[in-house]
Amino acid sequence: MQLLSIDCLGKELRLEGTLSGWQALFWDNQLVSEKNASADPDPMSNHSFSLQNGETEYLCELKCQLDWQPFGFEYELKVNQEMVSSNRVQQSDIEKQVPVERQGPKEKISPFGLMSLAFKLFKSVKVIKALLVAGSLAAYSWLFSLPFALGLILCLVVHEYGHIRAMKYFGMKTKGIYLIPFVGGLALSENKINTRWQEVVIAIMGPFFGLLLSLASLVIYWFTGIEMFAGLAVYNALLNLFNLLPILPLDGGHIMKSITFSMHSVVGLVLCILGAALGVLTSYYFGLALLALMLAIGSSEIMMEWKMRKHNQLLPLDRYGQIFSIVWYLGTMIALASIIYVLGQGDNEALSLPMKILGS
List Cβ neighbours of 8 (8 Å cut-off, separation of 6 or more). 27, 51, 60, 77, 79, 84, 85
Q: What is the dihedral of CA 193, 209, 328, 266, to 10 degrees?
A: -40
The reported pLDDT for the residue numbered 159 is 92
Q: What is the pTM of this model?
A: 0.70
Closest C-alpha among 192, 163, 184, 140 to residue 176:
163
| 119 compared with 16, residue with greater pLDDT | 16
269-325 pLDDT, tens digit per residue, is: 777 677 767 766 766 666 666 666 666 666 677 777 767 666 667 788 888 888 899
Domains of the chain from N-terminus onward: 2-89 (2.40.128.180), 111-358 (no CATH)
The reported pLDDT for the residue numbered 334 is 93
Average pLDDT over residues 7-30: 84
The reported pLDDT for the residue numbered 104 is 45
Give the separation between CA 68 and CA 80, rounded to whole angstroms: 30
pLDDT surpasses 80 at 139: no
DSSP classification of residue 244: T
Give the chain's mean pLDDT: 78
Closest C-alpha among 149, 199, 204, 156 to residue 178:
156
The reported pLDDT for the residue numbered 321 is 87
| 268 compared with 258, residue with greater pLDDT | 258
240-261 pLDDT, tens digit per residue, is: 988 888 887 788 888 988 888 8
The reported pLDDT for the residue numbered 310 is 62
Judged by average pLDDT, the poorest of 123-132, 136-145, 149-158, 172-181 is: 123-132
36-71 pLDDT, tens digit per residue, is: 877 677 788 889 988 887 788 889 998 988 887 778
Judged by average pLDDT, the poorest of 30-39, 121-130, 248-257, 350-359 is: 350-359
